[in-house]
Structure formats: structure tokens, C-alpha cells
Amino acid sequence: MSQIEKNHLKSTAEAGAGSPGEASSVAVAADATETEELVKQLLGMGFPEGPARIALAGCNNNVELAVQLLVAGEDSRKQRRGHQGLRQLRRSLLGSPFSTNKAIEEMMRNSYTVQGLTDSVGKSGVEAMQLLLADEDLSSESPSSAESSSASDSAEN
């Protein structure tokens, strides 16, 4: 028997028939306690609290589904960071040597970008090279952001 059912039975037994409001407040309190315990489990697995709460809410407090959701989201974020880093590297390689060195230094200072690049190149070096060699208009960036980055590169020269 779940804790919610136990609390519900206890509250109705103590209060006689009990009001529906009392029963629902007991159920909500028990649900909040259960959610806190599940959040602690996810925190123990190394997930951040905010995303853990969101994942649990989206999965109706199913820990296994929440873990799958959190892991899938983490992998896609790493992949996006890697692709962004490769596009940035490609743009800088097409520019002047000074701006290329500066761009590489900036990228290496950002640990998330370094991790994304490492994962991207490690999983598929061919895909990384394709991203580096791809035409700028085939990338997912908007033309205005590409123009503004080229304008800033030419302004630095």
C-alpha cells in the first residue's frame, strides 16, 4: 500500500468521514514528500536539481523515465555544443591567421565547447570534417548571424 493510501486511510479514520478538502491536502502533502525523495535519488545520481524536478514532473514521478529524459537531453546538448564549436572553428579558419588563433584560444577557454568538440570528433571524425568543410549556407545558422560574424572578423583585421 502506498504512503498516499496509508495517509488517506489514517486521516479519514481519525476525522470520521473527513472533508474532501482534508483528504486532498493530505494526498498533496504525501505526494510532495514522495517527489522530494525522488528528487534526492536523482541528485544522488549526479543530475542538477532543476532539470531533475522538471523531468520528474513530465514523467509523473517515474524515476526511470526521468533518468532517460535527462540523459537524452544531456547528450543532445553536448552534440549541439560540438557542432557550434566546429562551425565557429570553420569560420575562423577561413579568416586571417590572427583571428583564427584568437578564436581557438577563446574556444579552448570554454570547457563545454572543448568537451563538445572532443565528443564530436571522437565519435565521428568524418562528421566533424564534413561540418568544417560544409558551405556556410548549408549550416543551421541564419544568414544575418553569419554576416555579423564576418563583419566583426573583417573589422578586427
Give the pLDDT of residue 18: 57
The pLDDT value recorded for residue 137 is: 44
How high is the pLDDT of residue 139? 43
CA atoms within 13 A on the CB side of 38: 23
pLDDT per residue rounded down to tens, the chain (157 residues): 555 555 555 544 444 445 555 555 555 555 678 888 888 988 898 888 888 888 888 888 888 888 888 888 776 776 676 677 777 777 766 767 676 777 777 777 777 777 777 776 666 666 666 666 665 444 444 444 444 444 444 444 4
Give pLDDT, residue 68: 87
Q: What does DSSP assign to residue 127?
A: H
**Confidence (pLDDT) at 2:** 53
Length of the chain: 157
Q: How far apart are CA 103 and CA 8, in angstroms?
A: 61
Segments making up each domain of the chain, as ranges: 3-44, 76-156
Work out whether the CA dihedral 40, 42, 45, 48 comes out positive or negative: negative
Largest separation between any pair of C-alpha atoms in the chain: 82
Q: What is the pLDDT of residue 94?
A: 72
The predicted structure's pLDDT at residue 24? 52
Listed in sequence order, the residues at least 6 apart from 9 whose beta carbon sits closer than 8 Å to its beta carbon are: none
